[in-house]
Amino acid sequence: MESTVVASAAAPALPVYASWGSRVWAATLDAIFNFLLLIPVAIIVGLARSELANWAGLLVSLVYFTLGHGGATGQTWGKKFAGIRVVHESGAPLGYVRALIRWAVAIGLTILLIIPNLIDVLWPLWDSKRQALRDKAVGSIVIRA
């Protein structure tokens, strides 16, 4: 009697969403890293053109988060230390355009008012995918690395 093996298709692995605490820890570390990066940039820019020094922080933040989230790993230094990363909902890397939009949404919510930013930061607490509003804007999720 011959036996046959029935191959079943493996169920796709569901992502393990990053906890709110790990997102806050990564954001805290990223704020520290941004500040440390800003110091030499602001000094250099301030020496060259003092009126541009005020924009140095925004530029450092834009580059830091766009390159970190848009790159192959989807990690800034803070997210790397926290063991989390940003990816598209499909699991693919987010890409630089979506990373830039994600950053712009976060900055826009911060600039508009503190309340929208607070809502964005707290949103993952009740969202089924633990997404902030900035994640929903570009279809990204934050998962454990």
Per-residue pLDDT of the chain (145 residues; tens, 9 = 90+): 444 444 445 666 788 999 999 999 999 999 999 999 988 888 888 787 777 777 888 889 999 999 999 999 999 999 999 999 999 999 999 999 999 999 998 888 887 777 888 888 899 999 999 999 999 999 999 999 8
What φ, ψ does residue 141 adopt, rounded to 5°?
Answer: -130, 155
Provide the pLDDT for residue 32.
95
Contacts of 142 (CB under 8 A, 6+ apart): 17, 18, 23, 79, 84, 85, 86, 124, 130, 131, 135
- pTM of the model as a whole: 0.76
Number of other residues whose CB lies within 10 A of the CB of residue 94: 27
Number of other residues whose CB lies within 10 A of the CB of residue 106: 21
